[in-house]
């Protein structure tokens, strides 16, 4: 569970696919934070994070439209077997779904992130169907799955072929430079990796954003809930008992106090003055 004292935002955005890119926190690289990082001084790609054997590469193009570009290859120098392009409107929490799956699957002997055991496109979008997204009739070779609010979906071109085709697009938001989220997968992307990304789309958990960072058009479409500061926890009877037991006992006076007394006794009164001497 997220620590409420570490929330980076003043509103929760739901559904999360309308939250856009956060201007303050980027969790997309968290699952691969332990992989080697390469900061580039020149060119549009500003950062490359690679698996230790360089078979998986995640490029960050911070000033471009497709700001994440992910690829996997048979070895460090071979051409990419599959690619994913993710644009600048995509919430990092959705990218996290893909990078988390890659970080979990990678090891020196793994090839599961290169091959898919399933020939069915249904397996790629299974999380969307399980979440109640509607499958539309096939139109001109394109299969559409749309969210209940009509603001997100998956488009699968089952006709295009060839290793460089990009038949799968996960999308959200209305068309436009600042509003449309797109994650585009090439033909040989393993279905379970597409499904991991789709599951992040369908995740009902809202995400935190600062209201001023939201595109106004997305803000009108999304449900915004103010982030409330955490309330102090109400002490339980056990908490009160422990607090009382931990208090130091008050100091007693020089005279003995009766059992159960918690106050210091007053000093004893002075006796009568001695008799005066007569000469």
pLDDT, residue 250, reads 59
Q: What is the distance between the alpha carbons of residues 171 and 86, in angstroms, rounded to a whole number? A: 10
pLDDT 10s per residue in the chain (279 long)? 344 456 789 999 999 999 998 876 689 999 999 999 999 987 899 999 999 999 999 999 987 889 999 999 999 999 999 999 999 999 999 999 999 999 999 999 999 999 876 778 889 999 999 999 999 999 999 999 999 999 999 999 988 878 889 999 999 999 999 899 999 999 999 999 999 999 999 999 999 999 999 999 999 999 999 998 666 667 777 767 677 777 766 555 544 444 444 434 445 455 555 555 554
Interhelix angle 191-202/92-105, rounded to 10 degrees, is 140
What DSSP state is assigned to residue 139?
B
Segment 204-251, tens digit of pLDDT: 999 999 999 999 999 999 999 999 866 666 777 776 767 777 776 655
**CA of 132: how far to CAs of 24, 126, 163, 169, 228, in Å?**
32, 10, 31, 18, 30
For 209, the token pair is: 């954003």
Select from 84, 86, 85, 103 the least CA-distant residue to 17: 86
pLDDT, residue 262, reads 42
CB neighbour list of residue 253: distance below 8 Å, 6 or more residues apart: 264, 265, 266, 267
**CA of 257: how far to CAs of 29, 187, 251, 266, in Å?**
67, 88, 11, 10
- Going by their DSSP bridges, the two strands 82-86 and 134-135 should be labelled as unpaired
Query: Rounded to 5 degrees, what angle do the CA atoms 57, 41, 61 make?
Result: 45
């Amino acid at each position: 569970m997220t620590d409420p004292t570490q929330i980076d935002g003043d509103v929760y955005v739901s559904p999360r696919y309308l939250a856009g890119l956060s201007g303050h926190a980027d969790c997309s690289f968290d699952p691969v934070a332990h992989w080697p990082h390469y900061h580039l001084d020149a060119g549009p790609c500003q950062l490359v994070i690679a698996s230790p054997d360089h078979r998986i590469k995640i490029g960050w193009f911070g000033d471009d439209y497709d700001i994440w570009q992910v690829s996997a290859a048979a070895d460090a120098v071979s051409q990419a077997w599959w690619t994913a392009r993710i644009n600048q409107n995509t919430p990092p929490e959705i990218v996290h779904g893909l990078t988390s799956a890659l970080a979990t699957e990678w090891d020196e002997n793994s090839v599961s992130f290169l091959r898919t055991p399933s020939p069915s496109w249904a397996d790629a979008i299974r999380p969307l169907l399980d979440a109640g997204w509607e499958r539309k009739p096939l139109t001109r070779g394109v299969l559409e799955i749309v969210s209940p609010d009509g603001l997100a979906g998956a488009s699968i071109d089952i006709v295009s072929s060839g290793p460089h085709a990009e038949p799968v697009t996960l999308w959200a938001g209305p068309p436009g430079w600042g509003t449309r989220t797109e994650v585009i997968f090439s033909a040989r992307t393993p279905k379970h990796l597409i499904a991991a990304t789709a599951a992040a789309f369908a995740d009902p958990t809202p995400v935190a954003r600062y209201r001023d960072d939201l595109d106004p058009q997305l803000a009108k479409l999304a449900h915004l809930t103010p982030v409330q500061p955490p309330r102090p926890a109400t002490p339980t009877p056990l908490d009160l008992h422990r607090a009382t037991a931990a208090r130091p006992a008050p100091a007693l006076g020089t005279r003995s106090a009766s059992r159960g007394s918690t106050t210091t006794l007053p000093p004893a009164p002075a006796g009568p003055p001695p008799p005066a001497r007569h000469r």
